[in-house]
Amino acid sequence: MISTILLLGTILSTVPGRIEDVAGSVRRNVLLPIGQTLDRLLAPVDRALQPVADGYNRRLGTYFGEMTGLQFALIFGALIALLTAGLWAPLVSGSLLRTLALASIWAIFAMSWDIQSGYTGYISFGHSVLSAAAGYTTALLLVHVNPELSLWITAPISVLAALVLGLLIALPSLRLEGPYFSLITFVAVLLFYRLTTAFTSLGGIPGFSSPDVFTWDPTMRYYYMLVPMLLIALALTFMARSNLGMILVAIRENESAVSAAGINPTKFKIWSFALSSIPMGIGGVLLVGFTGNVDPHTFVIVDNSIEMIAMAVIGGMSSILGPLGGAFLFEFLNHEVLHGFSTPVRYLFLWGLVLLVLVFARDGLFRMIWHRLGAVRGENE
């Protein structure tokens, strides 16, 4: 029996090394040759587009990051595709516009999680509690105060509720180190879930509709979700490239060195959580407008927080635009490519994808593509 256990332990101890060997072999023998071939093919295109990218770099590169010709083409092409989706998406699939609208909301969640956890390294497992606070505040205002309240009244109050709850979680927990912060955020979302299910006055609020909150028109609903998402992406990208973003990255890399430099890491970690709470609240309000009702399963469960992390991992953490792309890929696969399969099968595939990304592309698929495009130069032709 002992020898069997020792043998099993020996086998298991070699598994991580073997996985790393396989991943390294794939990178050397598959990904590297593909990248070199693409370099030769795309280098002339990169040179042709570089003058346009240089014009952007001179005006906005300082604020949002400089780009090569191919990187500019990727961002500009994706932006045009999203802005014109109301025209072409219904022609591709009857449900595609709905999927893109839902992906816009989840992109807000993933980017919001990333500016806090991806940049500081303090992983939150309970970020869905912030969007839930905003969603339930909106619902309670409409159901129990006045169903005719304008969005311009309910939305700021709901976002404020998310911010207050975020600070209540951040103030005591971000002074801790190690896994304690993650555990506190995990417990927070569990407590909120039990709160919604324990009191019928809060849990299971019936569906409601208000023209000031959402519309059933699929095209208008899509743009209601898309425009805030794009504005949040711009704002968070600007913040991430500012001094605040650099300090957050420094905290992730070496918090002791940040303290030694005379900077209070706790203050900036609290700032990052507050900065994350505001777009999470906006996303919660949009999710109310998208679904037309509020319930614990849609807003509160821990699975939502885990999906935000999965989207950030797929796209590439600590990059803002990486989680945005990861959210759209995740939702497209879930609702368009795999829609014919049962929920367990769909999520088996999606979590398998997350595992593959962690093994073979640890920086995320979109960050890998971004850096690959940035490495293309004319001399590679």
Region of residue 204 (left: phi > 0; alpha: psi -120 to 50; beta: else): left
Counting residues of the chain whose pLDDT is more than 90, the rounded percentage is 50
Task: For 102-141, write each residue's pLDDT tens digit.
Answer: 999 999 999 999 999 999 989 999 899 999 999 888 888 8
In order, the DSSP letters of 320-370 are SHHHHHHHHHHHHIIIIISTTS-HHHHHHHHHHHHHHHHHH-TT-HHHHHH
Q: Which residue, among 317, 354, 356, 348, has the nearest Cα to 26 in the 3D structure?
A: 356
Task: For 160-214, write each residue's pLDDT tens digit.
Answer: 999 999 999 888 887 776 678 888 888 888 888 888 776 655 444 544 454 445 6
Q: What is the DSSP letter of 378?
A: G
**What pLDDT, on a 0 to 100 scale, did the predictor assign at position 379?**
42
**Would you say residue 97 lies in a domain?**
yes
- 97 vs 372: CA distance, rounded Å: 30
Give yes or no for a contact between 170 and 274, defined as CB atoms under 8 angstroms apart: yes
Residue 261 belongs to domain spanning: 84-308
Average pLDDT over residues 237-243: 93
Asked whether residue 88 carries a pLDDT value surpassing 70, the answer given is yes
Asked whether residue 14 carries a pLDDT value surpassing 70, the answer given is no
**What pLDDT, on a 0 to 100 scale, did the predictor assign at position 276?**
94
**What pLDDT, on a 0 to 100 scale, did the predictor assign at position 204?**
47
Beta-strand (E) ranges in the chain? none
More confident residue, 107 or 254: 107
**Would you say residue 328 lies in a domain?**
no
Give yes or no for a contact between 11 and 4, defined as CB atoms under 8 angstroms apart: no
Assign 24 a pLDDT band (cuts: 50, 70, 90).
Answer: low
Asked whether residue 22 carries a pLDDT value surpassing 90, the answer given is no
**Would you say residue 38 lies in a domain?**
no
**What pLDDT, on a 0 to 100 scale, did the predictor assign at position 5?**
42
Average pLDDT over residues 4-29: 56
Number of domains in the chain: 1
Give yes or no for a contact between 308 and 276, defined as CB atoms under 8 angstroms apart: no
**Would you say residue 24 lies in a domain?**
no
Task: For 307-323, write each residue's pLDDT tens digit.
Answer: 999 999 999 999 999 99
Residues in the chain: 381
Give yes or no for a contact between 323 and 103, defined as CB atoms under 8 angstroms apart: no
**Would you say residue 51 lies in a domain?**
no
**What pLDDT, on a 0 to 100 scale, did the predictor assign at position 366?**
93
**Would you say residue 364 lies in a domain?**
no
Give the range with max mean pLDDT: 14-18, 42-46, 108-112, 317-321: 108-112
In order, the DSSP letters of 209-229 are --TTT--S-HHHHHHHHHHHH
Counting residues of the chain whose pLDDT is more than 70, the rounded percentage is 85
- 73 vs 5: CA distance, rounded Å: 56
**What pLDDT, on a 0 to 100 scale, did the predictor assign at position 64?**
92
**Would you say residue 262 lies in a domain?**
yes
Give yes or no for a contact between 113 and 276, defined as CB atoms under 8 angstroms apart: yes
Geometric angle at alpha carbon 326, from 190 and 335, rounded to 5°: 80
**What pLDDT, on a 0 to 100 scale, did the predictor assign at position 316?**
93
Task: For 321-349, write each residue's pLDDT tens digit.
Answer: 999 999 999 999 999 999 889 989 999 99
**What pLDDT, on a 0 to 100 scale, did the predictor assign at position 214?**
64
Asked whether residue 290 carries a pLDDT value surpassing 80, the answer given is yes
**Would you say residue 59 lies in a domain?**
no
Tokens 């955020």 sit at which residue?
A: 185
